[in-house]
Chain A
Amino acid sequence: MAFDSFSAFITMDGHGPYVWACYAVFFVLLLLLMVGSVRSRAAIIESCRRGYEFQTDKSKVAATSAPSASFERVNVPQD
């Protein structure tokens, strides 16, 4: 150890606030960057999944449900 006591380690002969402020800002920003990157990857995967499910739901609905109106020619007697 380069310091005699824990309090000497914290104060660093009066340079403590400068040193610790730097390290705090460094780790907070680095952590935010890492967490942000993990989250945005998870978010894009989630939004893709929703998109694919929406597509398959739509095609299922289109395949199964009966058409609400039909456009077949109806022969109405004219006389």
Chain B
Amino acid sequence: MWQFFHKLGSPKWFFGISARFMPWLLAGGVLLLMAGVVWGLAFAPKDYLQGNSYRIIFIHVPTAFMAQSIYIMMASAAVVTLVWRMKLADVFVKAVTPVGLVLTFLALFTGAVWGKPTWGTWWIWDARLTSMLILLFLYGGVIALDRAINDEKSAARAVAVLVLVGVVNIPIIKYSVEWWNTLHQPATFKLTEKPSMPAEMWVPLLLSVLGLYMIFGWLACIRMQTEILSREQRTRWVKEFVMKGRS
């Protein structure tokens, strides 16, 4: 167990093992996402209340779900950075923050465009929308803070603290639709209950969530590899990897 933990912390080991998973993550992710999106757009039945505008859900829910789930993963990595000073945890945070930023923006954008035909407005300052906007700023803040500090180790620690402070926003996002009056509908999926939608609607939604999750896994691997290569370029194994077959 502990040996595995330490291996996991070694950039070289991660570099080798991630290369093996990446093609599967990419192929599986693209396939699942495409299946979910095509099913949701063309085959799922029309919503009796919202009409066809509800079809935005097949990208809105996956992006919003990923936006929060990436933040939770970053927070776990931040704990590892602070407690065990593991290099790879910091590499992960740095690599996935831009991905989280883009997905949060997409959740807000698709939500706004969905709101116009459904609620009659692009934006309201209610709890769910505002807390998601704060999440967007948190991602931006993490990137800005990391760029502002030149020393790698101090940057890692400062970023980890900021990420952990921002975690308070996650339950606010999650329960905002229950604690406050809002235009936003409650969660589509709950672990404890059966989905309130018919299967022809929630199965494609589940497919696109899983697909985007796998694509995120691929993005995380490739971006972590980039970060590792740039940090470890003075080591012998990176030199061997780069110069392989090129002499």
Contacts and interface: CB of A to CB of B under 8 A. Distances in A.
Contact of A15 (B37, B106, B117): B117
Contacts of A15: 51-53, 55, 117
Given A12-B52, A41-B229, A52-B243, A22 B44 contact: no
B203 interface: no
A37 to B, nearest CB: 5
Contacts of B60: 22
Interface residues on A, range: 20 to 34
Given A1-B42, A13-B52, A37-B222, A21 B59 contact: no
Contacts of A25: 106, 109-110
Interface in A14-73: 14-16, 18-19, 21-23, 25-26, 29-30, 33-34, 37-38, 40-41, 44-45, 48-49, 51-52
Contacts of A2: 42-46
Task: Give chain B's interface secondary structure class.
Answer: helix
Contact of B226 (A18, A26, A44): A44
Nearest to B50: A15
Task: Give chain A's interface secondary structure class.
Answer: helix
Contacts, number: 95
Contacts of A52: 239, 242-243
A21 B222 CA distance: 29
Given A33-B99, A37-B222, A19 B56 contact: yes
Given A15-B117, A34-B215, A48 B238 contact: yes
A35 to B, nearest CB: 11
Interface of A: 1-3, 9, 12-16, 18-19, 21-23, 25-26, 29-30, 33-34, 37-38, 40-41, 44-45, 48-49, 51-52
